[in-house]
Amino acid sequence: MESFYDNESVAKYLEYMAYLNTVSFSLLSGCGITKSITDKRSKYSNITINIGLYKKAIPEYVNKPSNPFDFNTYVWKDKKVKRTISPLVQALSVTAMNLSARKILNGTLSIRNRDEMIYFLAYASVAQLNFMYDNLTNDNLLYSCKHKTDALGNDILEMDEMSLNMLSQYYACEAAALTQDLINRTKYYLKLSSNSKKALDSLLPDLCHIAMKDSLYTSSRILCQLCDSLINIYEYTSFSKALIYNTVNVLGQELCERITSKGEIMRIPNDTKISSFFTLLLSLSTLSRLYLLFGFPNYLSCSNTLFMAIKEYWNEEEGIFLKTENNNMKYSIKDISAIFSSLSNFRKCADSSAIYDIDRMISSSFRNMILKSGIFINQSYPILDEEIINLPKTINTSKKAPPVFLERIEYKIDKSKFKIIDDYFNAEYSLWSCRLLL
């Protein structure tokens, strides 16, 4: 008989997986530009953190980790690395580290060396945020840069002026708000650079006004992502409360207008194109969060409609959501994390009659799409600790690899079996997922 994993256990396991992924890449991997910290009081040695992160890498250690208190023991190989430093990856990394630190602070994540881990996460958050706003900006907007080194070993950043992405600007402001709030909470002697502070003081209000002005022409998927990012600022900090309240509710009401009685979502108003399964998941997660925060009844009614639509994708025999009718289906870690985010957020406001179905979906999805799929490389060595975090067994464990989420898997219906089709570590995909799971 298959094991049943209750909702609370699944949430806890996924939080620890997201934490391990975040620490392994964002803090320790060495995949990017690094900075050393001198702290003679610490029991940790060779304290070197990432400040500018690459987009892609092969998750493989240089050497077998031997000393859990040596930062250098967890460095990844410089192999098939995409040496682009993007504001989206930087912002998602900072946010994932912030959320990890918050979980440790409130006791949700039980970490042995909690005080030092919170400090490392806070320090790296500030360093990566300041690096982003000090090096990746042009006319107050963020762009991706190619990282190169000259003949003398000096770092050179070549800006890609075609890489402007407005979503990155919102995620970056979210990262700045959460980081300043974490500094205020912990009382550490850390501070944002003047450019990072400008994002909170000037850019955030501008972005809110842009989001409201353009809401009618923004795709449903982007509406959800903008709204979700601003909700984090509203829920976790005190910045621009009134303005963000107005903004997220304008976006939320616009999203509700696009949902049909059958649970289909128009990409934009009066469009014949219907949004994907992924956007359905994002919409359910976002509207559930909006209802829990603000209580507008149409947020709940639309959430109920979307849940009924999502149930149509559930296959009881396979124990997973089937996105298409094809025999072979590809799932990214973003797809999988969106499933858990939507179900767990909706569960908090769902009618009691829906809880049984939600819990079965969460349990089966965790068992099949996480444990049996190979999408998560389980822990072989303790990370900055003396003991390994106790997690359920997965089919993917490697003594050469860190505990992280891989980019993509494939499911074959005729064989009822998953296989890994991309063993890359995609920083954007993995850190976006960690942000949801934390």
Averaged over successive runs of 10 residues, the pLDDT of the chain (438 residues) comes to: 87 98 98 89 93 96 94 92 95 98 96 94 98 96 93 89 96 98 94 94 95 96 98 97 98 97 92 89 98 98 98 95 92 97 98 97 97 96 94 92 96 92 92 98
pLDDT number for residue 422: 80
**Number of domains observed in the structure of the chain:** 1
Dihedral in degrees, nearest 10, Cα atoms 82, 85, 91, 94:
80
Expressed as residue numbers, the domain containing 340 is 7-437
pLDDT number for residue 152: 81
Residue 139 lies in a domain: yes
CA angle 298, 303, 307 (to 5 degrees): 150
Residue 317 lies in a domain: yes
Dihedral in degrees, nearest 10, Cα atoms 396, 372, 4, 19:
40
Burial of 286 per CB tally in 10 Å (0-12, 13-18, 19+): buried
Residue 1 lies in a domain: no
Burial of 390 per CB tally in 10 Å (0-12, 13-18, 19+): exposed
Residue type, 177: A
Q: Which residues, in sequence order, are bridge partners of residue 54?
A: 85
Flag whether the pTM goes above 0.85.
yes
The per-residue DSSP string of 89-127 comes to HHHHHHHHHHHHHHHHHTTSS--TTHHHHHHHHHHHHHH
Structure tokens that stand for 11 in this block:
């949430």
Residue 303 lies in a domain: yes
Whole-angstrom distance, CA of residue 283 vs CA of residue 280: 5
Residue 41 lies in a domain: yes
Q: Which residues contact 41 (CB under 8 A, 6 or more apart)?
A: none
* Run of H or E residues at 256: helix 241-257
Q: Are 68 and 382 in contact (CB under 8 A)?
A: yes
pLDDT number for residue 1: 55
Whole-angstrom distance, CA of residue 283 vs CA of residue 323: 16
Structure tokens that stand for 119 in this block:
């400090």
Structure tokens that stand for 34 in this block:
């690094």
Residue 2 lies in a domain: no
Instruction: For residue 143, count other CB atoms closer than 10 A to its CB.
Output: 19
The 3-state DSSP class for residue 155 equals strand
Question: At 100, which CATH number?
Answer: 1.50.10.10
Whole-angstrom distance, CA of residue 41 vs CA of residue 391: 31
Q: Which residue has 């998560």 as its token pair?
A: 376
pLDDT number for residue 79: 82
